[in-house]
Structure 1
């Protein structure tokens, strides 16, 4: 488990990363500013560990947030929903992926637990708030049709799912993936954030906008070594 806290105006949010499963996927537990409210983001194989930490801290899980509906990001949702009763938030363009998670699992030859139906549609350009913490929902398709990321309105923090990784980007060879669309999402939604913004991806370690802008080979390749 990895931890990261970001403070501002006397408060803080805390982000804890739990990694597991054959896809080495990151399940995030975000502790909101009030210190009592938790958000579970992309509940995957490490969901049991994230839930155990939430119980140890006596957190009230207010929402189950899904950046996109690839199976490794949702296969812990049934357990999370069953324990917390929290609503599941999903962008409607990813509902077909969500409803066909069993077929996704067949393609990769892995088991899966089908999630319960989502409860609330994520609407890009709107803000969602829990426990004194607020996040903008940004639309970042390309890796998946309904991919979103969650950008804190108070702290230099963004939960980016599988849009961009440290030194890499999300794959676009899966059904409905599109490299050009993904790169436009990165250009318009990720790289326009302040350079100190910390990015929490769905796989691998955290990074920052500045690091990826200056060193990510996919970004540099498109712009001949410089970002304009």
Structure 2
């Protein structure tokens, strides 16, 4: 499996290029930069970008997902629950996206947004068990994604229970790190493991729904000033961005 992590600072976010080197097919997840940067990176590793996935409709930056999919001749993928005015391939909980010897399995994880998904990644040349989980803005390193912009803390609590059932050894690949407006106590370290987050991520470890909701709604930073407009742009309803 080929895996490349892209750390963006303006806006703060993380993108991924991953795929099967043997079958030369890959995916870009949560693209932020111009399409050419991902096309160049894919070409350098010998991958063809077959899919572009946004884990959710973003409210902190303009996604380049649709533009990258068009440039690469790839399918643009989001949750089937996403309300978009532009073409995309909708996926449901449990769906699999094949990338040669690598496979992504979709987990519906609403909470940060209603349509949020995570992706379990398996490299079948190594094992039939998942190796990584791409968590977007659901589970980040040190905290969870804020819930009051587009969804609810109650939804996120139920999604967290789903993630907590996964094996501790899974590497967590989040969608943002320290400095992002989509979380609070985020670490500057852009990777972790599920087991470490279960032990040391306060919000992720809470087992009481009432306590969880209180924590998620306490000391919330100001909303990004253009959150509603950015979600509209990323939904295809304000393509000028004006």
TM-score, normalization by structure 2: 0.72
Q: Is the 8 A contact 2:53 2:65 kept in 1?
A: no
Q: Is the 8 A contact 1:27 1:46 kept in 2?
A: no
Aligned partner of residue 156 in structure 2, secondary structure: helix
2:166 maps to which residue?
Answer: 193
1:26 maps to which residue?
Answer: 14
2:180 maps to which residue?
Answer: none
1:208 maps to which residue?
Answer: 193
1:165 equivalenced with 2:134 (yes/no): no
Q: What is the 5 A alignment of 1:60-209?
A: 60-72=48-60, 75-95=63-83, 98-99=84-85, 117-153=86-122, 154=128, 155-175=130-150, 177-188=151-162, 190-204=163-177, 205-209=190-194
Q: Is the 8 A contact 1:127 1:137 kept in 2?
A: yes
CA–CA separation in structure 2 for the residues paired with 1:71 and 1:48: 23
Q: Is the 8 A contact 1:30 1:39 kept in 2?
A: yes
Structure with larger RCO (C-alpha < 8 A, sep 6+)? 2
Q: CA deviation at 1:221?
A: 4.2
CA–CA separation in structure 1 for the residues paired with 2:192 and 2:34: 21
Aligned partner of residue 20 in structure 1, secondary structure: strand
2:31 maps to which residue?
Answer: 43
Cα offsets for 1:54-113 (capped at 9, x unmatched): 122232111111211114576212431232010101113222xx44xxxxxxxxxxxxxx
CA–CA separation in structure 2 for the residues paired with 1:163 and 1:195: 17
CA–CA separation in structure 2 for the residues paired with 1:21 and 1:118: 29
Structure 1's unaligned 5+ residue stretches are 1-12, 100-116
Aligned residue-pair number: 191
Q: Is the 8 A contact 2:51 2:69 kept in 1?
A: no
Q: Is the 8 A contact 2:21 2:46 kept in 1?
A: no
CA–CA separation in structure 1 for the residues paired with 2:18 and 2:73: 17
Aligned-residue Cα RMSD (Å) equals 2.1
Aligned partner of residue 81 in structure 2, secondary structure: helix
**Alpha carbons of 1:185 and 1:142: their partners in 2 closer, same or farther (altered >3 Å)?**
same
Q: Is the 8 A contact 1:143 1:170 kept in 2?
A: yes
CA–CA separation in structure 1 for the residues paired with 2:22 and 2:158: 35
**Alpha carbons of 1:34 and 1:74: their partners in 2 closer, same or farther (altered >3 Å)?**
farther
Cα offsets for 1:13-40 (capped at 9, x unmatched): 2221112253311111012252511211
**Alpha carbons of 1:71 and 1:83: their partners in 2 closer, same or farther (altered >3 Å)?**
farther
Q: Is the 8 A contact 1:18 1:46 kept in 2?
A: no
